[in-house]
C-alpha cells in the first residue's frame, strides 16, 4: 500500500478518518492551527480533541472564480460539527443553489488529491450530503 | 477630558482608472486639495499618518512628503487591511487628543485597477506533483484554497451573508441583488464614482457569478484613488476664520476595534462582533443613537456584507436586516439613507483610500456641499469600514454649530 499523507495535519487518516483540533485544557476553545497560546483565555496547554464527523451546513458559497489551477465551481462551506465550526468543501453534490442549502446535514469523507514524485498519495477531505433514507 | 477634534479640510480624488498617475501622484492630489480645503499648509501640520496597503513597506508618508513638503514632522505609515484609511485618520485624531499636536494630516491611497481577485494568495493548486512536505501552521502539503473551502474575499463575504440568512428570515439571492441595485442607482449622482451606471435587478442577477450569491456587480470594484483629511484641535479651530469654523465637521466618535475571540472566528472571519462593538462604542462616545443618523456610509465590499452591517450598526432590530431593506429605508429617499455615494460596489474600493473617502462623503453632506445627491438637512452621519483579519473603524460626524 502506498504511503499516504493528509492534506493538513488536523486530518487524521487510517481506518477511521476524522478531524482533530487543539483544545485548550483551560477553557475548551478549539483551534486547527499550531498554537502559541489560547486566543480566548491565554493559557498554553492543549490536548487533541476529536471533531464530530457529521454536521450541519451553517453557511456556504459556490465559488465560480478562483486562482489559476483551482477547479471551479466548487462549494465552500462552514459546517457546524456539534459545536465546532469547520471550513470545508461540500463534495459529491451538484454545485448549484438548488442542491446545496444551509441547514443540510453532511458527513466527513476523504478523497485523494494526487500523488507526488515519490509515490506518496495526498489525501484531502470534504463533507458530503446525508440524504434521508427512502 | 481630552478635547474635541474637527475635520478642517477633506478631499477625495475621482475613483477609477488613473494609468498616468502613480500612488504618490494620487496621494499628493488628495493631500494638497485637503490642505487647500482647510486653508492650511504642510507647515501647519504636526503629524502625517498615511496608508497604501498593497505597497505597505515602501513608506508612502515619506514619499508623499518628498513631493509636497518635507517639514520634519513624524510620519506614521499604517497598514490595517481595508480599515487602513480609517486607521490613518484615527492616528491623526489620537495625536491631537493626546495633546501633542494641533493639526494632523491623514492620507490613504491605492492603485488597484485591474488587480483581480484578492485573498487568493498563498499556496494554490498546481504546486503539487513534486514532493509532499507538510508546511505552515496547518502542516499543509498542498494549496488549500479550493480544497478546504475558500479564503478569497468574494467567497468569504458570500458565506457571511448566507450565514445571516441561515440565522434569520427573508434572505435570498434576490434580496442581495436588490441591495446592489440600490447602490448602483445611487452612483448615478456621484461624479467621483468609478461606475455610474444604473443596473436593473435582472442585469445584476444574470451577470457573471463570482461567488454565489455575489455576481460581479455585487462585488466592490478594484480601482485607483486617494482621499485625505486635515484634522484640527477644538482650541486651534476657535482661533480660525468664521468660514473655516462654519465648514468644519466635528468628529464625535473615532473608534477602532478588532474581533474578540468567538467560536468559529478563526474559521470564517467574524465581521459582526467587532462591528457591533465599534458601533456601540461610537454611539456612546458621540452621545447619539442610530435613530439620530441622517446618513450612513457602510462597508459594502460585497452586497452580502451590506445586509449584515444594517444589523451590526443597529440600524434595525437584531435579525431584521431584510425587513429594514424591504421597507425602503436605506434608499436615498428613505428614512435611513445608506451608501448614497454608490457604495464600494459602484464608487469603487481603492483599499486604503476607502476609510477616508467614506468620511469625505458624510462630511460633504453635513457641509451641504454634496450637489445633486445632497441629503437635505443632514446633521449627523456615520462612516464604517472593515478589513479582514480583522479591523473595524467607525467615525461619527456632526455638522458644526
The ranges assigned to domains in chain A are: 4-129
B19 touches chain A (CB under 8 A): no
Q: Domain segments of chain B: what residues?
A: 5-114+221-399
pLDDT on residue B401:
77
One-letter-per-residue 3-state SS of chain A: CCCEEECCCCEECCCCCEEEEEEECCCCCEECCCCCCCCCCCCCCEEEEEECCEEEEEEEEEECCCCCCCCCCEEEEEEEECCEEEEEEECCCCCCCCCCCCCCEEEEEEEEEEECCCCCEEEEEEEEECCCCC
Check residue B124 and give its pLDDT.
Answer: 45
The minimal CB distance from B132 to the residues A5, A33, A40 is found for A5
- Strand B214-215 and strand B209-212: the pairing is antiparallel
The secondary structure element, H or E, covering residue B322 is helix B321-326
CA-CA distance, A6 to B91, in Å (whole number)?
45
CA distance B304 to B177: 9
Q: What is the pLDDT of residues B77-106, one digit of tens each?
A: 999 999 999 999 999 999 999 999 999 999
B1 pLDDT more than 80: no
ipTM over 0.85: yes
CB contact under 8 A, A67 and B125: yes
Grade residue A2 by pLDDT with cuts at 50, 70 and 90: low
CB B162 within 8 A of CB A61: yes
CB-count burial class (<10 Å; 0-12, 13-18, 19+) for A42: exposed
Nearest residue of A to residue B172 by CA position? A97
Q: How far is B122 from chain A (nearest CA, A)?
A: 10
- Chain A residue numbers with beta carbons less than 8 Å from the beta carbon of B141 are 5-8, 122
Q: Which CATH architecture has domain B5-114+221-399?
A: 3-Layer(aba) Sandwich (3.40)
Whether omega before B129 lies within 30 degrees of 0, making that bond cis, reads: no
Q: Residue holding cell 472571519?
A: B269
pLDDT of residue B130: 81
pLDDT at B284 over 90: yes
Mutate to test the interface with B, among A36, A60, A65, A84 (most CBs of B within 10 A): A65
pLDDT tens for each residue of A48-67:
999 999 999 999 999 999 98
Comparing CA positions, the residue from B97, B79, B83 lying closest to residue B394 is B83
Sort out which chain B residues have CB atoms less than 8 A from A118's CB and list them. 131-132
Q: Give, as one character, the DSSP assignment of residue B65.
A: H
Residue B332 has pLDDT above 90, yes or no: yes
Mean pLDDT calculated for residue range A70-91: 97
- Mean pLDDT over the full length of chain B: 95
> How large is the average pLDDT for residues B232-237?
98
CA dist list (Å): B257 to A56, B135, B213: 31, 31, 28
Supply the pLDDT for residue B126: 45
d(CA B146, CA A69): 9
Amino acid at each position: 500500500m502506498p504511503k499516504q499523507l493528509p492534506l493538513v495535519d488536523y486530518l487524521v487518516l487510517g481506518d477511521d478518518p476524522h478531524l482533530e483540533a487543539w483544545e485548550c485544557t483551560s477553557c475548551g476553545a478549539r483551534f486547527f492551527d499550531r498554537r502559541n497560546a489560547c486566543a480566548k483565555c491565554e493559557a498554553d496547554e492543549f490536548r487533541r480533541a476529536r471533531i464530530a464527523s457529521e454536521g450541519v451546513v451553517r453557511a456556504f458559497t459556490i465559488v465560480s472564480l478562483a486562482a489559476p489551477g483551482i477547479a471551479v465551481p466548487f462549494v465552500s462551506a462552514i459546517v457546524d460539527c456539534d459545536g465546532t465550526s469547520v471550513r470545508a468543501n461540500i463534495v459529491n453534490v451538484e454545485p448549484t443553489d438548488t442542491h446545496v442549502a444551509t441547514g443540510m446535514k453532511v458527513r466527513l469523507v476523504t478523497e485523494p488529491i494526487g500523488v507526488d514524485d515519490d509515490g506518496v498519495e495526498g489525501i484531502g477531505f470534504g463533507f458530503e450530503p446525508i440524504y434521508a433514507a427512502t | 477630558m481630552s478635547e474635541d477634534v474637527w475635520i478642517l479640510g477633506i478631499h477625495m480624488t475621482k475613483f477609477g482608472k488613473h494609468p498616468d498617475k502613480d500612488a504618490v501622484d494620487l496621494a499628493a492630489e488628495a493631500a494638497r486639495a485637503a490642505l487647500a480645503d482647510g486653508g492650511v499648509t504642510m507647515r501647519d501640520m504636526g503629524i502625517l499618518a498615511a496608508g497604501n496597503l498593497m505597497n505597505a513597506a515602501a513608506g508612502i508618508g515619506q514619499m508623499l512628503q518628498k513631493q509636497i513638503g518635507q517639514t520634519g514632522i513624524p510620519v506614521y505609515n499604517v497598514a490595517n487591511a481595508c480599515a487602513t484609511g480609517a486607521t490613518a485618520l484615527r492616528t491623526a485624531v489620537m495625536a491631537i487628543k493626546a495633546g501633542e499636536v494641533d493639526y494632523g494630516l491623514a492620507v490613504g491611497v491605492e492603485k488597484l485597477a485591474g488587480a483581480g481577485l484578492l485573498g487568493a494568495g498563498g499556496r494554490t493548486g498546481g504546486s503539487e506533483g513534486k514532493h509532499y512536505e507538510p508546511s505552515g501552521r496547518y502542516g499543509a502539503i498542498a494549496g488549500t484554497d479550493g480544497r478546504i473551502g475558500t479564503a478569497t474575499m468574494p467567497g468569504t463575504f458570500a458565506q457571511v451573508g448566507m450565514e445571516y440568512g441561515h440565522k434569520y428570515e427573508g434572505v435570498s439571492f434576490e434580496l442581495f441583488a436588490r441591495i446592489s441595485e440600490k447602490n448602483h442607482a445611487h452612483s448615478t449622482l456621484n461624479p467621483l464614482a468609478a461606475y455610474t451606471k444604473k443596473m436593473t435587478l435582472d442585469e445584476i442577477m444574470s451577470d457573471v457569478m463570482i461567488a454565489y450569491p455575489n455576481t460581479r456587480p455585487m462585488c466592490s470594484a478594484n480601482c485607483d484613488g486617494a482621499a485625505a483629511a486635515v484634522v484640527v484641535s477644538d482650541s486651534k479651530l476657535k482661533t480660525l476664520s468664521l468660514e473655516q469654523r462654519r465648514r468644519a465637521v466635528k468628529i464625535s466618535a473615532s473608534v477602532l476595534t478588532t474581533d474578540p475571540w468567538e467560536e468559529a472566528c478563526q474559521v470564517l472571519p467574524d465581521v459582526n462582533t467587532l462591528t457591533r462593538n465599534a458601533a456601540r462604542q461610537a454611539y456612546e462616545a458621540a452621545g447619539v443613537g442610530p435613530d439620530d443618523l441622517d446618513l450612513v456610509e457602510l462597508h459594502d465590499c460585497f452586497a452580502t456584507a451590506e445586509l449584515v452591517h444594517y444589523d451590526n450598526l443597529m440600524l434595525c432590530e437584531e435579525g431584521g436586516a431584510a425587513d429594514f431593506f424591504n421597507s425602503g429605508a436605506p434608499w436615498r429617499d428613505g428614512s435611513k439613507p445608506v451608501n448614497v455615494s454608490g457604495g464600494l460596489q459602484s464608487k469603487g474600493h481603492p483599499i486604503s483610500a476607502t476609510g477616508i473617502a467614506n468620511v469625505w462623503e458624510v462630511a460633504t453632506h453635513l457641509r451641504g456641499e454634496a450637489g445633486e445627491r445632497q441629503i437635505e438637512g443632514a446633521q449627523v452621519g456615520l462612516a464604517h469600514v472593515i478589513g479582514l483579519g480583522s479591523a473595524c473603524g467607525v467615525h461619527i460626524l456632526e455638522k458644526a454649530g
